[in-house]
Structure 1
Amino acid sequence: MSTEPAAGPHEGSSAKQGPGRPEEPERSEPAEQPQAQQAWDARRDLNAHAPRSMSFDGTNHGVTAQQIIGDVHQHYSFGGYRASHASGEIPQEALERLAEGFVLEGTEFDALVERLRREHVLVLTGDPHTGRRTTALMLLRAVGAVPVQSVDRKAKPEDLVPGERCGHVLFDLEPTRAQPLREAQILSVRDRLRAKHSYMVITTGHSPYIEDTVRLALWKPPPARAVLAVLLNQRVDAVTAERLLGLPAVTSLLARNQQLREVVPYADILVRADSAEIEQYAQRILEQQVREWFEESENTFSLREKAFLIALAAFNNGPYALTAELSDKLFERLRKTGDPDHGERIPVFGTHIGKRLQVARARLEADDVETEWGKVRQLNAAFNDDRTAPVLLTEVWTGHPAARPALTGWLDELSTDGRPFVRTRAAAAVAVLALTDLPSAMALVIERWADSRNPRQQLAAVSALTFAHRIKAPNVPRIIDGWSTDSETPKRCWVAVRAHGLIGPERPVETLASLRALARAQYDLPEADELIRTELPDSVALLLLSDAGDTALRELLRTFTDHPSTRALALHGFLAACSRTDDNPCPPLLARYARTTSALGGIALLLRAALGDRETNRRAEEALHGWIRAADQDPQTEEVLATLLPALVTEPREGARLEHLLDTVPGLDGRPKPAAATRLRALVRPLIPA
């Protein structure tokens, strides 16, 4: 049985050091090492917890770097009214230009106009980038409150000295604990506005520092499609506008709930009819949004929220509570990077889930998740656009290198976590970094994990390389092939053998060639490395049970008699595949080849050889016993065995051995011999000479 390397399997070995590369201390390694994990369980976790962009069925179907992280693109200046912080009159032509593209469909604009007429002052609140500034100006224009004066947002509403028959707008008021927005302030300014027949609109975000008695006006924007339709109809005829709205790139973009500031400039791009620009626009605005998040000062967008974004990128579509928990661990590391002497504790409360996800352009979804204890209902957090996760990780890694020490330390910690989901997602995050910057990801993370004494970190290295290959990171097979022949670094060699089993289905011939070469090298050593020797068959078994199983079986048979090491590798790998069970009644190897009767000859040859080999005889008999007991419960298994067992008899001695084996099949838990054994024996008996 193959296992994950035990604690400190190669204490006497040392990893190769690059020129001038200092040895780094082992990080995040618990005093008591975790239990070993088999290759099959590692593959299960890899597939069960992979991000959706890395889900896999055994063959890479052309996922490219552009699909994962996109290209580097130009910046866009998004549309909308941008207010300055100083006061002054807003030009009338600016108001008229905004009115041309202002959309009322699906909004409460008319009701807000009537309310402004009655109350003379509105506190307009809503989500960021929903057009609150433009709406404020249009409300004042609708009630005839022109010209419009922009008020410095640092000014207090009660200090306003209104003009005669005009409008006033205060953009982006930010109430604080020290200076909350109170009802008395609104009542004071309302009286003065009424006296001068003037009006005022104050825009603000969702804030806990607005007194409950302040009557807010909630703004919800029109549908993005309606806005785009109006803008297109102003530029082209109705038929062309409808055709442009129906383009796949357009419908895909609108389905992601884009902000209005991103929809407005898209109209001009559609009119230019540059197909490449139309297709790439969604990726470009996504990249710009990610850059904005990390370019914002910590006063505007806190370091804790930036850490949450990074964690959400790693655990996208994972449990919100887990993401928030682990994001605070990253926040602590990032804070120490910027200020090592910072002693302030992380606040336990004060984070609003809704506001946090709104800023992250993410959502909450309740979902049934498969765990070690069965399915459980969890509240998962996910970006509205799944492409955000890899784009964000790439931006942090390449655009903000000062964050690398904190990020790699955090990933180290995740790689030894007791939860398979956490370890798998840490490896997937590293794979994205490898796609972007393979040399740095290898040197700073993957090589250290491969050289670690902690088996969980070694498995994380395997997973990272496997995920990196899935998303087309360069040279992964070359790295694995190189490590598998490096006798000076047995830890990396073990990682390579395990990785061969996971990416091997894409290149079964090359993978088996590497495994054979390693088996031959181990055979020639005075003392073989036990962990590598026992891992080799499991990688062969993974290949036999994969979609490339037919090719793998042919390769094993082709080289079966080349050398004692190739014979042993084929037999032990075959028996490892024979011993596998899953939730289906028919054993996986038999089910795999039930549809390919031509492969049964190869199975019979290997099973016959295993039964006749002193080293493998017991395991082969145990495998056959298991199949016969399965046949007692499953007609398909019995049907396959009815074809296979006669092929095991080529001489009287083999027939007698098989007859004895069928006579002595033990039942499970002390039960009688399976009835299927008697039926199968009747098929074998005529083949044995009297």
Structure 2
Amino acid sequence: MSGQEQPAGSGPGAVAAPGETAPDEAAPKDGSAEETEERDQPQNAWAARRDLVDHSPRTMKVGAHSRFGGGYTAGDQHGVSGGRVTGDVVMGSKTVHHWSFPGLSTAASASGEIPRRTLERLAASFVTADDAFDGLVERLRRDRVLVLSGARFTGRRTAALMLLHRLGATPVLALDRDTTPGSLADRFTARDDGTDTDRGDDRARGYLLCDLATRRGNALRETHLLGAADRLAEQDAYAVITVGPTAVLEDDVSPADWRPPTAQDVLAAHLRARTTEETAGRLLGLPDVKEFLHHGHQLREVAAFAQLLGRYAAGEVTEQEVAGFSLGSLENQVQEWFEEDESAVHLRDKAFLIALAAFDDGPYALTAELGDLLYGFLQQTENRSRVPEIPVFGTHVGKRLQLARAHRHEAEEHTEWGPVTQTKAAFDDERAALVLLREVWTGHPSARPALIAWLRRLADDGRPLVRTRAASTVAVLSRTDLPSAMALVIEPWATAGRFRHRLVAVNALTLAHHIGTPNIPRILDAWSTAEDRRLHWVAVRAYALIGPERPAQALAALRDATRALHRRPGGPDDFDGEMARELTQAVELLLLSPADAEVLTDLLSRLDDEPAVRDLSLGGFVNACRRTEDDERYGTPLVLRWYARAATDDDRTATEGIARLWREALGDPGHTRLALTALADWVLAANRSTTTEWALAALLPRLVTTPPEYQRLSHLLRTMPGEDGNPPPEVAARLLSTLPPR
């Protein structure tokens, strides 16, 4: 079970409220501190690695259930998102670009006339998603006033202007956003100040009111619209009012839903309005343009990108500027989220955005729960004397995700009980999580105390997913500012008394290394010789995960640690026994990594070394032999599959090396029993799979070079019990026949 180290009572209910004593600092309620420490056992390295693979965010994913290591191995991609999302592209120095979004800014909704020529310019590049627009035109013609509902930055303002333009209602007067529902009719009065020079006597007037302010107790009612329609009819005018999806409307008000066109259609329309058909087609085929469209940008950004592409076609801007526009606009959006005042983005919404960055593509309910936990910490940062207040109800899921430019979807989530289907929330642009965390950590240092307290609480959570995402979040912070992340978060975890916290430090360092954070191997090298034995433990665990990139150095460090462990004065204590197991598990993971061939060669070369080093090699090999595909009890043994692949490829180094390690382990008094148990499991797996049987039948003859070896294996195959204590499996007799008599 991946969460096997979870003590009773941990999990969501164990998370203390902000201001309370953290679980690691509190005295246990039902026993001494020593008893609590006894219950805190380290999670098996193999299970911990599986949790890290299962629960890492999509921007740091290694292949599903694949092995850690860099580069490409055996056709599998290892590392972090192929280097496409992370690295210097996103995590380097921030460069914020300020782009103009012509014709699409809601700031333009302050009072003032929008001239006819502006409407004609917008009409030249206006497209719709379907034929419903014509129906909206007729509805506006009939009712005089139309409420158009849509999310921000979906082109709803441009759509409103185009509805008025289609009716010939020019010029259009944009009304002040402070207009209230009750004062709506009073706004629709003819102007008599002599400034209406752009209107002919036979032309209707248009009114536009963007983002009508509504709230409970001040809803938009049918009576408001009827009064407005009467005033509009008196002066032969039309009005379109835009509102958001959560506007407060009475039941008898039926807004028209605005369905925006695709970004590709909008971009194509803007390019055709600016360039020739041939040039527009060429621009749409550029790789940077396809990459831009892949990231789901808002229509205001699409319009600005079209403007930039037009300048690029004219030779006024460079290809680098085109390539950088997408990331620049994302950085601008993130900066807007955290620089706007509370009336635009509430502190609770900012906490949710940070939680979504940490739990991107994770369960929505979990993200919302832990976002509220962070909200409590942020409130205390603003006012230490304030009791954190978290509204229980009233949060609109759609509004939250719309603000975050995110979406919900159903997908499987790995758990210690197997995969389960959950509702997840993910950013539309997968780069957003990395950019957001960087912005919060470096652009808003005042948020650090709350963020650190939140991360420490996550590290103590009973759910593997939560702990892994705490580690991945700190990995991003390390890539941005390694000294601060080390001092404030990772080192306190690494020197903590609980194995759980130290494991989060291991995962944070591992993921930080995978996204290109410099100097992680140097940190591990230093910790592997540190006086603090807890740092020693963290270094050994991390070597097992990043070691495939530098197997020779990792194995050398593990051997040095083994020698130091056995040379320590005095008798071995519990910690020494735990460290010995950790060292063996580290070798096991390295053997089952993309660097398996190099590790195998290294282990073989050390079999005649001192006893402690020999035990390390054989113990790691026997542990590796116990691992099966997908961790199934009688699944294909991974080492046997490796042997079969090497035999097919005529890789004599691997086949002979695996056979020799088997012979050494079976003949070593300290490893014979566990080796025979592992081999018996292989026989039971062969009883269920013909492919496994063939591979084992090819290996067994290589394990017999002396009479004692023959006697040992023949005795096992004659006497071993079947599954659940049944008689020996039939496959045992067939395998016995493959042994060469001695």
User: Do the structures match in fold with TM over 0.5?
Assistant: yes
Instruction: Sort the Cα spacing of 1:166 and 1:590 in 2 relative to 1 into closer, same or farther, 3 A.
Output: closer
Taking the TM superposition and a 5 Å limit, the aligned residue runs for 1:7-18 are: none
> Runs of 4+ in structure 1 displaced over 6 angstroms?
3-7
107-116 vs 336-345, which moves further: 107-116
Taking the TM superposition and a 5 Å limit, the aligned residue runs for 1:489-638 are: 489-526=532-569, 527-528=571-572, 529-581=576-628, 582-583=631-632, 585-597=635-647, 598=652, 599-638=654-693
Structure-1 residue corresponding to 2:186: 159
250-259 vs 361-370, which moves further: 250-259
Out of 139, 144, 153, the residue aligned to residue 163 of structure 2 is 139
147-156 vs 530-539, which moves further: 147-156
Structure-2 residue corresponding to 1:77: 100
Deviations 1:322-350 (CA, angstroms, capped at 9, x unpaired): 11111111111111111223336311111
Out of 60, 78, 81, the residue aligned to residue 54 of structure 1 is 60
SS of 2:209 mapped into structure 1:
strand
Deviations 1:446-484 (CA, angstroms, capped at 9, x unpaired): 111111122211111111111112211111122122211
Amino acid at match of 2:218: Q
Out of 370, 379, 383, the residue aligned to residue 423 of structure 2 is 379
Structure-2 residue corresponding to 1:475: 519
Distance 2:365 2:259 in 1: 29
Distance 2:735 2:239 in 1: 91
Taking the TM superposition and a 5 Å limit, the aligned residue runs for 1:165-244 are: 166-244=205-283
Amino acid at match of 2:444: H
Superposition deviation, residue 68 in structure 1: 4.9
Contact 2:585 2:620 in 1 (8 A): yes
Amino acid at match of 2:154: T
659-668 vs 431-440, which moves further: 659-668
Structure-2 residue corresponding to 1:119: 143
Distance 2:699 2:705 in 1: 12
Instruction: Sort the Cα spacing of 1:607 and 1:99 in 2 relative to 1 into closer, same or farther, 3 A.
Output: closer
Superposition deviation, residue 104 in structure 1: 4.8
Contact 1:360 1:383 in 2 (8 A): yes
Distance 2:687 2:155 in 1: 69
Structure-2 residue corresponding to 1:349: 393
Instruction: Sort the Cα spacing of 1:96 and 1:634 in 2 relative to 1 into closer, same or farther, 3 A.
Output: closer
Structure-2 residue corresponding to 1:300: 344
Contact 2:6 2:462 in 1 (8 A): no
Superposition deviation, residue 670 in structure 1: 2.6
Contact 2:537 2:582 in 1 (8 A): yes
Structure-1 residue corresponding to 2:470: 426
Structure-2 residue corresponding to 1:259: 298
Amino acid at match of 1:524: R
SS of 2:506 mapped into structure 1:
helix
TM-score (norm 1): 0.90
Amino acid at match of 2:419: K
Out of 294, 301, 311, the residue aligned to residue 355 of structure 2 is 311
Structure-1 residue corresponding to 2:33: none
Distance 2:730 2:260 in 1: 71
Contact 1:106 1:221 in 2 (8 A): no
Contact 1:580 1:587 in 2 (8 A): yes
Distance 2:188 2:332 in 1: 40
Distance 2:232 2:504 in 1: 65
Distance 1:166 1:661 in 2: 96
Distance 1:107 1:296 in 2: 37
615-624 vs 361-370, which moves further: 615-624
Contact 1:53 1:68 in 2 (8 A): no
Superposition deviation, residue 70 in structure 1: 6.1
Distance 1:109 1:635 in 2: 64
Superposition deviation, residue 490 in structure 1: 0.8
Instruction: Sort the Cα spacing of 1:316 and 1:677 in 2 relative to 1 into closer, same or farther, 3 A.
Output: same
Contact 1:5 1:531 in 2 (8 A): no
Amino acid at match of 1:525: R
Distance 1:197 1:151 in 2: 17
Distance 1:672 1:470 in 2: 49
Structure-1 residue corresponding to 2:486: 442
Instruction: Sort the Cα spacing of 1:344 and 1:668 in 2 relative to 1 into closer, same or farther, 3 A.
Output: closer
SS of 1:380 mapped into structure 2:
strand
Contact 1:433 1:441 in 2 (8 A): yes
Superposition deviation, residue 540 in structure 1: 0.5
Structure 1 alignment gaps of length 5 or more = 8-24
Contact 1:508 1:552 in 2 (8 A): yes
Amino acid at match of 2:52: L
Superposition deviation, residue 214 in structure 1: 2.3
Distance 2:555 2:330 in 1: 42
Amino acid at match of 1:556: L
Instruction: Sort the Cα spacing of 1:111 and 1:566 in 2 relative to 1 into closer, same or farther, 3 A.
Output: same
Deviations 1:580-614 (CA, angstroms, capped at 9, x unpaired): 34336432222222222422322333333333333
Deviations 1:410-461 (CA, angstroms, capped at 9, x unpaired): 1111112111111112211111111111111111111111111222111111
Instruction: Sort the Cα spacing of 1:292 and 1:501 in 2 relative to 1 into closer, same or farther, 3 A.
Output: same
Distance 2:498 2:244 in 1: 48
Superposition deviation, residue 76 in structure 1: 1.6
Instruction: Sort the Cα spacing of 1:536 and 1:26 in 2 relative to 1 into closer, same or farther, 3 A.
Output: farther
Structure-2 residue corresponding to 1:17: none
SS of 1:359 mapped into structure 2:
helix
Distance 1:197 1:6 in 2: 72
Contact 2:69 2:593 in 1 (8 A): no
- The alignment covers a number of residue pairs equal to 668
Superposition deviation, residue 162 in structure 1: 0.4
TM-score (norm 2): 0.84
SS of 1:234 mapped into structure 2:
helix
Amino acid at match of 2:88: Q
Instruction: Sort the Cα spacing of 1:259 and 1:585 in 2 relative to 1 into closer, same or farther, 3 A.
Output: closer
309-318 vs 609-618, which moves further: 609-618
Amino acid at match of 1:163: A
Out of 37, 44, 47, the residue aligned to residue 43 of structure 2 is 37
Contact 1:317 1:381 in 2 (8 A): yes
Structure-2 residue corresponding to 1:16: none
RMSD: 2.7
SS of 1:684 mapped into structure 2:
coil
Distance 2:137 2:692 in 1: 75
Confirm whether residue 130 of structure 1 aligns to residue 154 of structure 2. yes
Amino acid at match of 1:634: S
SS of 2:739 mapped into structure 1:
helix
Superposition deviation, residue 128 in structure 1: 0.5
193-202 vs 457-466, which moves further: 193-202
Instruction: Sort the Cα spacing of 1:570 and 1:231 in 2 relative to 1 into closer, same or farther, 3 A.
Output: same
Superposition deviation, residue 116 in structure 1: 2.6
Distance 2:130 2:611 in 1: 76
Contact 1:484 1:492 in 2 (8 A): yes
